[in-house]
């Protein structure tokens, strides 16, 4: 009796895992699209084009950057990103080592980022890691819903 319960439980677990694997296996196209969306967003940041950035985010975007929090695209655009971009003569923002997955209309990714910023008084280089949550819109486009970046610790 106990052995048959164990076999039944194991079988149910394998069925569940197998079903989940089937869902993820069919998502490689979405994972590629998520990578493209993240790279398009980074390219828009590099071009300092706020309108292009808006195409890759949701209105209810949630940003965690280090210890800072911005709630909504308007808050991030008007009180963080916009003022920063005005100070920068140039910026080069890139994602690398992106690992993306999707299930239905929800996608997520982990990545490394690097940013090179040129300002009149100095140049700044930094890098770090991040995670992103994206949602697939009715138009089929993946957009950032949540972005969390953390800079690497500076070596002393």
| Long-range contacts from 106-110, C-beta under 8 angstroms, 24+ separation | 106/133, 106/134, 106/135, 106/136, 107/30, 107/31, 107/34, 107/133, 107/134, 107/135, 107/136, 107/142, 108/132, 108/133, 108/134, 109/34, 109/35, 109/38, 109/134
Average pLDDT, the chain: 87
- pLDDT tens for 11-27 read 433 333 333 333 444 45
Average pLDDT over residues 115-132: 98
**Does 67 have pLDDT greater than 50?**
yes
Question: Which residue is listed with tokens 């949602």?
Answer: 135
Domain 23-151: which CATH number of 3.20.20.60, 3.40.50.170, 3.10.450.50, 3.40.50.150: 3.10.450.50
**Does 117 have pLDDT greater than 70?**
yes
pLDDT higher at 23 or 149: 149
% helix, strand, coil for the chain, step of 5: 40, 40, 20
**Does 105 have pLDDT greater than 70?**
yes
Average pLDDT over residues 112-131: 98
Average pLDDT over residues 31-36: 98
Average pLDDT over residues 81-101: 97
**Does 9 have pLDDT greater than 70?**
no
pLDDT higher at 46 or 3: 46
CA distance 12 to 118: 57
CA distance 86 to 84: 5
**Does 86 have pLDDT greater than 80?**
yes
If 0-12 CB within 10 Å is exposed, 13-18 middle and 19+ buried, where does residue 147 land? buried
**Does 10 have pLDDT greater than 80?**
no
Average pLDDT over residues 75-81: 97
Domain ranges of the chain: 23-151
């Amino acid at each position: 009796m106990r052995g048959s319960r164990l076999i039944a439980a194991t079988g149910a677990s394998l069925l569940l895992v197998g079903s989940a694997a089937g869902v993820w296996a069919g998502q490689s196209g979405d994972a590629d699209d998520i990578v493209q969306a993240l790279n398009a967003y980074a390219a828009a940041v590099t071009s300092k084009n706020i309108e292009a950035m808006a195409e890759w985010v949701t209105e209810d975007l949630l940003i965690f950057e280090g210890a800072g929090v911005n709630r909504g695209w308007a808050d991030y655009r008007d009180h963080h990103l916009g003022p920063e971009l005005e100070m920068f003569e140039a910026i080069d923002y890139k994602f690398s080592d992106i690992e993306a997955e999707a299930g239905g209309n929800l996608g997520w990714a982990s990545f490394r980022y690097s940013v090179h910023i040129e300002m009149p008084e100095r140049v700044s280089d930094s890098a770090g890691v991040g995670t992103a949550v994206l949602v697939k819109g009715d138009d089929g486009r993946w957009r950032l819903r949540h972005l969390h970046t953390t800079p690497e610790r500076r070596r002393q």
